[in-house]
Amino acid sequence: MRDLIIMVKLLSALVMGLGMGWLLRTASQHPAQPPQLIFVAGGFEYRERYAARLAREHNLPVLVSGGLSADYGIALFSEEGVQEPQLSRDDQASDTLENFTTLLGELKQRQVRHLLLVTGVDHMPRASLVGHIVAGSRGIQVTPAPVDCGGACIWESPLKVAADALRAVIWVVSGQDVKRLILAWNRVETPR
C-alpha cells in the first residue's frame, strides 16, 4: 500500500509538472487583451457585490457560476447598479472545476478570450490554477480579481489545490472529470 501511495504522488507530480509546463507554453502564445467578462466562481454575497462593482466600473458583463439564489443575486446586482442584461447566472457547477468546465461552451459562444476571475482571496489559488488550466486550454486568459474575505477566510491546503489542478489537467486531456468517475465506480463497487 505504501508503494502505491508513493507511486500516485510521483505520478501526480509528473502530471502537474507537465500540465504547468503546457499551461505556461500556451499562455505565452496568446497576446494579452482587455478583459471581456467578469466570471464569479461560487457564490458568497461579498464576491457578488465585488463583481457588481467591477462590472459597473469597467462596464463588463458578469457571469456567476454557482452563486446565491437567482432572485437574491439579481436583487443584489440591481442594488449595486448592474441590471439583468449585463448579468448571467448558471447553477450547473457543484465545485470549482465545474465552474469552468460547464461554462466553456458559453464562453466560446460569447467569444471570450480574457476574463476577470472573482472569488475570495482564500479560494483564489485553487480557482485561478484550475481556471488557467481549463480555460487556458481553450485560449482564454484568466486574470485573478481576488476579494478580501475578512474574518470569513478558510484557507485551502496545498493538497486540495494540487488535487483540483490534477483533476483539471485530467479533464483537459481526457474530457472526463475523474471525481465523477471515482464516485460512479464507488457506487458500483459498494455493496448494498
pLDDT tens for the 192 residues of the chain, in order: 666 566 556 555 555 555 555 555 555 555 578 999 999 987 788 999 999 999 999 999 999 998 778 888 888 999 999 988 899 988 888 899 999 999 999 999 999 999 999 999 999 999 999 999 999 999 999 999 999 988 888 999 999 999 999 999 999 999 988 877 676 666 655 555
What is the model's pTM?
A: 0.80
How many domains, the chain? 1
Is residue 184 one of the residues assigned to a domain? Answer: yes
Model pLDDT, residue 54? 96
Is residue 11 one of the residues assigned to a domain? Answer: no
Is residue 21 one of the residues assigned to a domain? Answer: no
Model pLDDT, residue 98? 93
Is residue 22 one of the residues assigned to a domain? Answer: no
- Residue 66: domain span: 30-189
Is residue 72 one of the residues assigned to a domain? Answer: yes
The domain that holds 107 is classified in CATH as 3.40.50.620
DSSP states along the chain? -HHHHHHHHHHHHHHHHHHHHHHHHHHTTS------EEEEES--HHHHHHHHHHHHHHT--EEEES-S-HHHHHHHHHHTT--GGGEEEE---SSHHHHHHTTHHHHHHTT--EEEEEEETTTHHHHHHHHHHHTGGGT-EEEEEEE--GGG--PPPHHHHHHHHHHHHHHHHHS--HHHHHHHHHHHHS--
Is residue 40 one of the residues assigned to a domain? Answer: yes
Model pLDDT, residue 42? 72
Is residue 20 one of the residues assigned to a domain? Answer: no
Model pLDDT, residue 149? 87
Is residue 141 one of the residues assigned to a domain? Answer: yes
Model pLDDT, residue 101? 94
